Amino acid sequence: MSDEYDTFTGEPRSESVRDRLIGATIRLLADAGPAEIKVRRIADVTGVSTVAVYHHFGGVRELLEAVVGTGYRALKAALENASNADPDPGAQLFAMALACRELAQRNPHLYDMMFGLSTRGTYRYVADAPKDGPVAAFVDAYTVFADACHRLVRAGRITIVDGYVVAAELWSAVHGFVTLEIAGHFTRFPHPVTDVLASMAVNHLVGMGDDRDRAQRSATTAIAWWEIRHA
């Protein structure tokens, strides 16, 4: 597990003041939500003066941009790890869905902020942000997912030949599931991963031209990898 992945829970990567401020903000998001992200509170939790926040980031907006960028880098690390689940690109994609789900469950408020589902004051995710900002960090993470979709296409598993179309459709499905689950909409299902996510993933692959048995094996392989990883 990488340092960036750990940072998603608010554990600082180093003893630098900048990283400590990012970690404190991530923990506040997890514990209290975006409404409580205030300079004084962040400074108190970190054990520094409020001047440090402005010195390192300029203000809360810039601090939150750094937090969102950190979240995307954590997502990228998790997706890269999931890509090693199995040589089967279908299993890789399903493992990536499980990795995304875990990150969202670890810190739902951070996940919401990363994808513009919640805001804090002057901060909102915007598509025309600086090229070296959070949007670029998301593109880096999304590319890992898209690469697995390209491998699925090259393997001849599906009839769609544009891997970017596959990535857009599957990412939309995974993001929808993750968002609805953390909002509490799947509590009626005893096992949301197998009852909803796996079934949806298999159906999507079959709809794209995959063999159902082969698609089911991909899901089963990924779940087995996930269970071993968390044993």
CATH number of the structural domain spanning residue 119: 1.10.357.10
The yes-or-no verdict on residue 9 having pLDDT over 60 is no
Q: What pLDDT does residue 122 have?
A: 47
pLDDT digit string, tens, across residues 174-229? 999 999 999 999 999 999 999 999 999 999 999 999 999 999 999 999 999 999 98
pLDDT digit string, tens, across residues 35-78? 888 899 999 888 898 898 899 998 888 999 999 999 999 999 99
Span 153-169, average pLDDT:
97
Q: What pLDDT does residue 128 have?
A: 52
How many Cα atoms sit within 13 Å of 34 on the Cβ side?
Answer: 23
- The per-residue pLDDT of the chain, averaged, comes to 88
Q: How far apart are CA 214 and CA 216, in angstroms?
A: 5
Q: How far apart are CA 99 and CA 81, in angstroms?
A: 9
**Inside any domain, residue 60:** no
**Inside any domain, residue 83:** yes
Range of the domain at 108: 67-229
Q: Bridge-partner residues for 120, per DSSP?
A: 123
pLDDT digit string, tens, across residues 79-94? 999 999 999 999 999 9
The beta-strand segments (E) located in the chain are none
The yes-or-no verdict on residue 133 having pLDDT over 70 is no
The yes-or-no verdict on residue 33 having pLDDT over 80 is yes
**Inside any domain, residue 152:** yes
**Inside any domain, residue 50:** no
The yes-or-no verdict on residue 20 having pLDDT over 70 is yes
- Structural domains of the chain, count: 1
Q: How far apart are CA 187 and CA 202, in angstroms?
A: 21
**Inside any domain, residue 164:** yes
Which residue has 């997890």 as its token pair?
30
